[in-house]
């Protein structure tokens, strides 16, 4: 309400000012930009390569998981943890693309909902009977569940290894990892067999076109998945007190910064059209903005990405430690991330003449 | 919100003059319309709606308790039909009160004084929500719900857990949103703002003569009745003279939600101004102006119910298929607002925008078979469109 009122006031001011100078009517440049070129670059050089890399990392995770289950010792646990982190880093390049099959099966809801519900995980393990795809298990699967299973089920590594003498824990770990791999295959297969062509040709300016949905997915991810989930929520920006146990990879507790920086890199690369696997650069929101003679906004957004990176770099590797020792640095990182929410969601979408397709939940 | 109201009331804080040709003396009545809802006689406030504030507080506790699976049916019934002195609530003041929610549910003078049959059926609906919540939902608190089976369902992405009956309905939402109509809207529009209540007995003569309602109070009966209507909307506000909205979980909250939709912005000040001017008109003994405000309030409060009913049917429709718990939550709120439609009031008539028969037919469509588990988008659109058309807006306007 307050925001809307503010917006109305701003529009009113703008209107009042602009109507006084009617000798220089504003000429808006017509948007004849080739939107398909962006979709082709994004599909072929970003989304599909990132998914393929994720798939490879998950295959490695599966292999290490099988070895660990066969022989639950420290060596195998270390290898398994290492492959979990590698896959989790790549995941940061995939989560924002909630489109096509990923949207249909709520892929990200089955891969990275945190905080994990220990109650649900332990109940599933105990019963040995569960449907991991069921919506009630969204917070009992994926990377956060594996984080808990590899770092949080007991107080130290020796005790964790003891847990895996129990076949129920082996089974749950195995099922969760296999499920992550299967879901990822399902999403890739859809891209490579049919969805890519549907995607690249869906360029109209409508609420359901791939172009509009993609840009909305990107901004939604930046605002919610990156800014809020990784930084704002644990820093307490949406609650009475900080919530240090809400950080990503809480049980590992050393990589929340790594994952956040990776996610920021993914957002920057996507915005700039940088290929996932190489240093080449293609059509992107940057070229779209330039075609509209709006280089100023493009450079502002990139400057703000860099500013956010500087602030995040000042944080400890463990965000929960950071919150407990000096939460001001966390809120400063949040504030730096927030700048681009406005530039992307308001200024860039206005330049593209695209509507925002999501609203904040009404909270009741 | 606060800023908007203050700005508008600043404009309104001038004397309102009405030329009233019907008046016996043929003269001009000057209405002193204050900037805020504050009225005094000899330096003493004449505004009083403590009973409404109490009932809103009781309803808040009851609605919370409906989601506490340790409560018994007796506990919840006690909160619904409180008896003075019983320890039904956590607050001593509420326990000491002689007010009850149930006795004022479907209890307006205009709609139910000569229709106890419908009134009893409606009270039985609310009793039934409580009974079924305890008998069917509480025992399945930890069970995953499926079509035809009560239990819990979590919103996608690790969201809120919703506790639903076999048809996907959250009975606590049906109760809470139904109560907005059955208690607040009915009491405001069809009871306290009715001429049968405002002008009952010698109310006009006593108001004309500034005769106090009873010994020890500064207000006339008519003033008090008007304030009781006001209290059902603004009674939970910290400073009800200058409402900021969002102060309760009932009509006050949902007025702020409708105000927040740009298609309906301005409705909050329309309602507030009508309440204030009507009250000022009573002080000035100008009953024509008072009655005009009644019709403005009837139209706009009714619209709040219509907009939220259509809104939740639309948002629920969108979520169906990919996030059942979120969809069922919206549809359950929508269900309650649809139920509330029978308590709305078309201006200048004695009818609701939708009769009980029409509402019952909507409910039957929503609850057919396995209810929300299988309700179609077409059904939701049809009901939403019918509601929107009757009120003169569109489903699309209500959806955002």
pLDDT tens digit sequence for B244-294? 999 999 999 999 999 999 999 999 999 999 999 999 999 999 999 999 999
Indicate the average pLDDT of chain B: 93
Task: Specify the range with the lowest mean pLDDT, choosing from A5-9, B92-96, B153-157, B323-327.
Answer: A5-9
d(CA B83, CA B97): 8
Dihedral of CA atoms B57, B59, B63, B64 in degrees, nearest 10, equals 20
- Determine the Cα–Cα distance for residues B261 and A164; give it in Å rounded to an integer: 54
User: Which pLDDT value is given to residue B192?
Assistant: 98
> Where is pLDDT greater, at A4 or A204?
A204
Mean pLDDT across A118-122: 97
Mean pLDDT of the region B165-179: 98
- What is the Cα–Cα distance from B199 to B291, expressed in whole angstroms? 11
Label residue A29 by pLDDT band (50, 70, 90).
Answer: low
Three-state secondary structure readout of A43-94: HHHHHHHHHHHHHHHHHHHHHHHHHHHHCCCHHHHHHHHHHHHHHHHHHCCC
Q: Are A116 and A148 in contact (CB under 8 A)?
A: yes
Q: Give the separation between CA A292 and CA A290, rounded to whole angstroms.
A: 5
Mean pLDDT of A139-160: 98
pLDDT of residue A19: 39
Return the percentage of chain A with pLDDT > 70, whole number: 91
In this prediction, residues A60-70 reach a mean pLDDT of 98
Task: Please state, in angstroms and rounded to a whole number, the distance separating the CA atoms of residues A5 and B3.
Answer: 9
Cβ atoms < 10 Å from Cβ of A296 = 10
Q: For chain B, what percent of residues have pLDDT higher than 90?
A: 90
What is the rounded CA–CA span in Å between residue A10 and residue A17? 10
Neighbours of A70 (CB within 10 A): 10
Residues composing chain A = 364
ipTM, interface predicted TM-score of the complex:
0.71
Q: Could you tell me what percentage of chain A is helix, strand and coil, using 3-state DSSP and rounding each to the nearest 5?
A: 70, 0, 30
Whether B164 and B126 have beta carbons less than 8 Å apart is answered as: no
Mutate to test the interface with A, among B158, B170, B255, B312 (most CBs of A within 10 A): B158
- Work out the number of other CB atoms within 10 angstroms of the CB of residue B86: 12
At residue A7, does pLDDT exceed 70?
A: no
| Region of poorest pLDDT, from A1-15, A106-120, B84-98, B216-230 | A1-15
- Within 8 A of A358 by CB-CB distance, chain B residues are none
Report d(CA A209, CA B187) in Å as an integer. 48
Tell me how far apart the alpha carbons of residues A89 and A258 are, in angstroms, rounded to a whole number. Answer: 8
Q: Where are the beta strands (DSSP E) in chain A?
A: none
- Nearest-angstrom CA–CA distance, B318 and A109: 18
Backbone angles phi, psi at B236, to 5 degrees: -95, 0
Helix (H, G, I), strand (E, B) or coil at B162: strand
Name the band, by pLDDT with cuts 50, 70 and 90, for residue A124.
very high
Contact yes or no for B283/B292 (Cβ under 8 A): no
Residue A350 is predicted with a pLDDT of 94
Q: Which residue of B has its CA nearest to A363?
A: B160
Q: How many CB atoms lie within 10 A of CB B43?
A: 6
Give the integer Cα–Cα distance in Å for B229 and B109. 13
pLDDT at A288 over 50: yes
Specify which residues B162 forms β-bridges with: B153
At A363 the pLDDT is: 45
CA distance A40 to A275: 12
What pLDDT is stored for residue B400 in this prediction?
83
Element (H, E) at A336: helix A319-342
On whether any CB of chain B is under 8 Å from the CB of A109, the answer is yes
The DSSP output letter for B155 is P
Collapsing DSSP to helix, strand or coil, A344 comes out as helix
- Please give the mean pLDDT across all residues of chain A: 91
**Is B322 close to A106, i.e. CB distance below 8 A?**
yes
Query: What does the pLDDT average to over B137-152?
Result: 97
- What is the Cα Rg of chain A in Å? 22
Burial class (CB in 10 A: 0-12, 13-18, 19+), B118: middle
Could you say which of B154, B257, B260 has the minimum Cβ distance to residue A135?
B154
Give residue A233's pLDDT: 96
Q: Least CA distance to A362: which residue of chain B?
A: B257
Q: Does the beta carbon of A277 lie under 8 angstroms from any beta carbon of chain B?
A: no
Q: Does A134 touch chain B (CB under 8 A)?
A: yes
Interchain CB contacts (distance < 8 Å): A and B: 50
Parallel, antiparallel or unpaired: strands B29-31 and B40-41:
unpaired
- Alpha-carbon distance of A180 to A289, in angstroms, equals 37
Enumerate the residues of chain A whose CB falls inside 8 A of the CB of residue B256. Answer: 1
Average pLDDT for B172-194: 98
Is A5 near chain B, with CB under 8 Å?
yes
A208 touches chain B (CB under 8 A): no
Q: Are the Cβ atoms of A5 and B3 closer than 8 angstroms?
A: yes
Which segments of chain B does DSSP mark as H helices, in order? 2-12, 50-65, 73-80, 92-96, 109-112, 116-132, 171-179, 186-187, 195-198, 203-208, 221-234, 251-259, 267-283, 287-319, 324-340, 356-366, 377-391, 395-399
Q: At what angle do helices B267-283 and B251-259 cross, to 10 degrees?
A: 120
8 A C-beta contact, residue B67 and residue B163: yes
Q: What is the pLDDT of residue A95?
A: 98
Whether residue A56 has pLDDT greater than 70 = yes
The verdict on A2 touching B (C-beta cutoff 8 Å) is yes
Tally the residues of chain B.
400
A64 Cβ contact partners less than 8 Å away, ≥ 6 residues apart: A76, A79, A80, A82, A83
Tell me which residue of B101, B108, B103, B109 sits closest to B53, measured CA to CA: B101
Residue A205, phi then psi, degrees to nearest 5: -90, 75
Give yes or no for a contact between A295 and A289, defined as CB atoms under 8 angstroms apart. yes
Q: What is the rounded distance in angstroms from the CA atom of residue A133 to the CA atom of residue A121?
A: 13
A115: cis peptide before it, omega within 30°?
A: yes
Task: Using an 8 Å CB-CB cutoff, list chain B residues near A129.
Answer: none
Please name which of B396, B361, B325 lies closest in space to residue B168, comparing C-alpha atoms.
B325
Candidates B155, B260, B324; nearest CB to A1: B260
B245 φ, ψ (degrees, to nearest 5): 70, 170
Closest CA to A176 of A133, A136, A135, A113: A133
Q: Which residues from B are below 8 Å from A135, CB to CB?
A: 153-156, 323-325
pLDDT band of B11, cuts 50, 70, 90: very low
Sequence-ordered list of residues with C-beta below 8 angstroms from that of A361, at least 6 positions apart, any chain = none
Instruction: Kindly determine whether residue A135 and residue B260, on different chains, have CB atoms separated by under 8 Å.
Output: no
Q: Do B158 and A362 touch (CB under 8 A)?
A: no
Quickly state the pLDDT bin for B337 (edges 50, 70, 90).
very high
Cβ contacts of B260 on chain A, cutoff 8 Å = 1, 4
Task: Read off the pLDDT band of B376 (50, 70, 90).
Answer: very high
Indicate the helix (H) or strand (E) that contains A160: helix A157-163
Give A364's contacts in chain B (Cβ within 8 Å).
Answer: 249
């Amino acid at each position: 309400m307050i925001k809307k009122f503010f917006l109305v006031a701003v529009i009113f001011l703008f209107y009042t000012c602009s109507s006084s100078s009617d000798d220089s009517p504003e000429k808006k440049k017509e948007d004849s930009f080739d939107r398909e070129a962006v979709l082709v670059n994004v599909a072929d050089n970003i989304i599909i390569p990132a998914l393929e890399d994720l798939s490879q990392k998950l295959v490695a995770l599966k292999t290490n998981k099988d070895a660990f289950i066969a022989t639950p010792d420290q060596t195998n646990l270390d290898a398994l943890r290492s492959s979990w982190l590698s896959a989790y880093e790549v995941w940061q390049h995939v989560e924002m693309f909630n489109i096509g099959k990923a949207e249909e099966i709520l892929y990200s809801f089955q891969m990275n909902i945190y905080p994990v519900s220990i109650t649900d995980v332990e109940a599933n393990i105990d019963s040995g009977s569960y449907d991991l795809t069921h919506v009630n298990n969204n917070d009992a699967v994926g990377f956060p569940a594996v984080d808990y299973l590899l770092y949080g089920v007991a107080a130290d590594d020796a005790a964790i290894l003891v847990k895996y003498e129990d076949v129920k824990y082996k089974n749950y770990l195995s099922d969760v990892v296999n499920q992550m791999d299967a879901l990822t295959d399902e999403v890739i297969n859809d891209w490579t067999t049919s969805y890519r062509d549907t995607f690249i040709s869906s360029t109209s300016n409508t609420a359901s076109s791939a172009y509009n949905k993609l840009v909305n997915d990107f901004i939604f991810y930046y605002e919610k998945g990156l800014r809020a989930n990784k930084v704002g929520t644990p820093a307490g920006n949406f609650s009475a007190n900080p919530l240090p146990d809400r950080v990503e990879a809480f049980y590992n507790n050393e990589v929340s910064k790594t994952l956040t920086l990776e996610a920021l890199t993914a957002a920057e690369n996507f915005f700039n059209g940088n290929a996932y696997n190489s240093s080449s650069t293609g059509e992107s929101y940057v070229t779209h903005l330039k075609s509209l003679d709006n280089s100023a906004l493009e450079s502002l957004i990139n400057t703000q990405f860099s500013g956010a990176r500087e602030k995040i770099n000042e944080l400890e590797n463990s965000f929960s430690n950071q919150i407990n020792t000096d939460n001001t640095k966390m809120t400063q990182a949040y504030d730096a991330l927030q700048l681009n929410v406005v530039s992307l969601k308001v200024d860039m979408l206005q330049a593209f003449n695209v509507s925002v397709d999501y609203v904040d939940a009404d909270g009741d | 919100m606060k800023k908007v109201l203050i700005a508008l009331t600043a404009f309104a804080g001038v004397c309102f003059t009405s030329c009233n040709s019907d008046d016996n003396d043929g003269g001009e009545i000057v209405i002193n319309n204050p900037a805020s809802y504050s009225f005094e006689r000899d330096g003493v406030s004449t505004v009083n709606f403590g009973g409404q504030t109490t009932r809103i507080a009781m309803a808040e506790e009851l609605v919370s308790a409906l989601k506490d699976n340790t409560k018994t049916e007796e506990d919840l019934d006690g909160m619904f039909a409180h008896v003075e002195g019983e320890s039904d609530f956590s607050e001593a003041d509420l326990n000491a009160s002689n007010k009850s929610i149930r006795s004022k549910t479907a209890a307006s003078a205009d709609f139910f004084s000569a229709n106890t049959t419908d009134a009893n059926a409606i009270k039985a609906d609310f009793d039934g929500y409580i009974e079924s919540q305890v008998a069917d939902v509480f025992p399945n608190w930890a069970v995953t719900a499926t079509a035809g089976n009560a239990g819990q369902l979590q919103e996608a992405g690790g969201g809120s857990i919703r506790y639903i009956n076999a048809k996907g309905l959250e009975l606590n939402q049906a109760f809470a949103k139904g109560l907005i109509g059955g208690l607040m809207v009915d009491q405001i529009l069809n009871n306290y703002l009715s001429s049968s209540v405002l002008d009952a007995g010698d109310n006009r003569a006593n108001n004309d003569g500034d005769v106090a309602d009873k010994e020890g109070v500064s207000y006339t009966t008519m003033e008090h009745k008007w304030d009781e209507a006001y209290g059902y909307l603004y009674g939970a506000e910290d400073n009800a003279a200058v409402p900021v909205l969002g102060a309760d979980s009932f009509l006050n909250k949902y007025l702020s939600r409708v105000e927040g939709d740009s298609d309906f912005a301005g409705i909050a000040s329309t309602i507030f101004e009508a309440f204030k001017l009507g009250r000022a008109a009573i002080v000035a003994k100008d009953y024509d102006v008072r009655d005009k405000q009644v019709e403005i309030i009837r139209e706009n409060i009714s619209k709040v119910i219509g907009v939220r009913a259509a809104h939740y049917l639309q948002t629920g429709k969108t979520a169906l298929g990919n996030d059942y718990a979120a969809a069922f939550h919206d549809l359950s709120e929508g269900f309650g607002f649809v139920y509330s439609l029978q308590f709305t009031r078309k201006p200048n008539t004695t009818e609701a925008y939708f009769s009980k028969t029409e509402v019952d037919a909507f409910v039957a469509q929503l609850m057919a078979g396995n209810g929300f588990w299988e309700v179609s988008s077409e059904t939701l659109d049809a009901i939403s469109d019918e509601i929107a058309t009757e009120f003169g807006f569109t489903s699309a306007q209500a959806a955002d």
